[in-house]
Structure 1
């Protein structure tokens, strides 16, 4: 079977604030089937979707997740405490969230410094497979800094997770959107992408990114 005959994973984006629509838009432009959901009736985000994410389908969250191969969790982190784990049970979930107390306030769930924030997300979403990426770049940069494969100024994005197959699948999406994916085996290494980490907010090419994380990777 040729690569062109392999169906693309279907992507559901949960969150219609700043981050969600941008990720949905670049995924649509990369050729993926994308749905987007907020916390309630999809009619409430239908206009936003048509303007900001043409080509993405607004749906009820449960329906979008049920049909998706990849679920992008792009909600404000302070809302995670009320997020229903059952919604994404059995799903590959991409965690784009950051714990940043000056913005979110102190969140007791994320104060355990033994773990990175995505490890804590994994503990709560125990029936899901968590992969961390997109959290270490500004949402506006996700669209602006895309480059074709082989471009000398193509930026790298880190992709971390415990499940190698899930990391590879998400890395393929990152590559197709327009970035060089740097795979880090182990969700614990996702803390390198977090605020204060060596690559947070940095626009790095693959070699520089790999050097920055290799020193500290577990």
Structure 2
């Protein structure tokens, strides 16, 4: 369990990545609200597994609950997210653009923006940090290790708010990984999206910095 002050975390989307994060965060002592598009009643089993620090909520309730929010839904559905109550909050974006799933998005196809910048447009005022998008879900679930372990994996993060990135980096450290700051959403985010060297890389912090060109 973490010795740090518990944080309220809202998680929207509890598939492989969101579910792994929910388990890690409650184990670290944080309070978690989980939500999906099908409603709180479909999350009874997950909440029972997570225990007393977790509860099910609607998407809007989870976003309002969290001091830090996690958005882990298909990119094609971010337009359904309510913007109320997220201004000023740290919002972790775990998503990637997969045209076969999300449909073609012209602004991403021509590289005029990034998926995380699209989320920032949907959630005005939120402090978006891209993270957990470049690691396999099974590694995230199973391969957390103590700080200093030579086998510890690193996770790239990007964002435009330095304090928000520090908050996310601290959470990443708590759950057994090293965070490597790749830069802004526009510059850094492009460095660890699909089809880049860091995407899916089994790398520690030093090697990841090299893959990111830092």
Normalised TM-score (structure 1): 0.88
Question: Does the Cα contact within 8 Å between 1:164 and 1:185 map onto a contact in 2?
Answer: no
Give unmatched runs, 5+ long, in structure 1. none
Residue 71 of structure 1: CA displacement? 0.3
> What does residue range 35-74 of structure 1 map to in structure 2 within 5 Å?
35-51=33-49, 53-54=50-51, 55-74=53-72
Question: What is the RMSD computed on CA atoms of the aligned residues?
Answer: 2.0
> What does residue range 42-191 of structure 1 map to in structure 2 within 5 Å?
42-51=40-49, 53-54=50-51, 55-86=53-84, 88-108=86-106, 110-188=108-186, 189-191=188-190
Distance 2:78 2:151 in 1: 35
Residue 49 of structure 1: CA displacement? 2.9
Deviates more, 1:121-130 or 1:186-195: 121-130
| Aligned match of 2:20 | 22
Distance 2:23 2:108 in 1: 29
How many residue pairs match? The answer is 211
Distance 1:108 1:84 in 2: 23
Distance 1:199 1:61 in 2: 31
Distance 2:12 2:208 in 1: 28
Normalised TM-score (structure 2): 0.89
Give unmatched runs, 5+ long, in structure 2. none
Distance 1:41 1:81 in 2: 17
Distance 1:67 1:208 in 2: 36
Residue 112 of structure 1: CA displacement? 4.4
Q: Match of 2:84, SS? A: helix
Question: Does 2:202 correspond to 1:203?
Answer: yes
Distance 1:107 1:50 in 2: 38
Question: Does the Cα contact within 8 Å between 1:117 and 1:191 map onto a contact in 2?
Answer: no
Question: Does the Cα contact within 8 Å between 2:75 and 2:115 map onto a contact in 1?
Answer: no
Residue 64 of structure 1: CA displacement? 2.6
